[in-house]
Amino acid sequence: MNKQTEIKKELAQLPILEYAFLKPGEIIFSKEVRDLCEGNSCGMYHKSWACPPAVGSVESCMEKCYGYDQAMLFTTATAVASSFDMKGWMQARLEHEALTDQVAAVFRRYDKDALILSTEGCTVCKKCTYPDAPCRFPDRMYPATEGYGIMVMQMAPALNIRYNNGANTVTYFSMVLFNE
């Protein structure tokens, strides 16, 4: 049995909404996505090891991703009270990050050097050590897909994954890159 078959068996036990395997060459990178980071649209630019500029240039992120054989994009979707329910969004994000930890554990059993990318910067520490000291939890700090310049909005439909799961839901994405 190959690694991907074993991984799929383990993933079936987790509350992942949708996922797809792809080759790193299929990842859509965009300087415009990184420009949003640099415009500090989420407020994390230059504040976290998981975000730019700490993650490196888009070109260095691309190079890192292309160094892997395979990738997997996965989602969760959570109902929220309304599109303005920021508390609901944050709770859904924390649940997504907890699932990302579980997915990371699965992949790291097969490839200890798997690269895990997730949402909007790291949530592990209340205050990040960036840039004054090294990350306290590098195995649990997952760089943001957007910070890597990855255009999830365009990738999702190409992989038959819903980007939007309807009114009053929040959908989060994570990506794993690994070697077979």
The full set of domain ranges for the chain reads 3-178
pLDDT in tens, 46-103: 889 999 999 999 999 999 999 999 999 999 999 998 888 889 888 999 999 999 999 9
Residue type, 14: L
- Token pair, residue 93, equals 């994000």
Rounded-to-integer distance, Cα 60 and Cα 62, Å = 5
How does residue 123 score in pLDDT terms, banded at 50, 70 and 90? Answer: confident
How does residue 1 score in pLDDT terms, banded at 50, 70 and 90? Answer: low
Average pLDDT, the chain: 92
Those residues whose C-beta lies under 8 Å from the C-beta of residue 141, and which sit 6 or more positions away, are 49, 50, 122, 124, 135
pLDDT at 38: 78
C-alpha separations of 127 from 45, 85, 123, 124 in Å: 14, 24, 9, 9
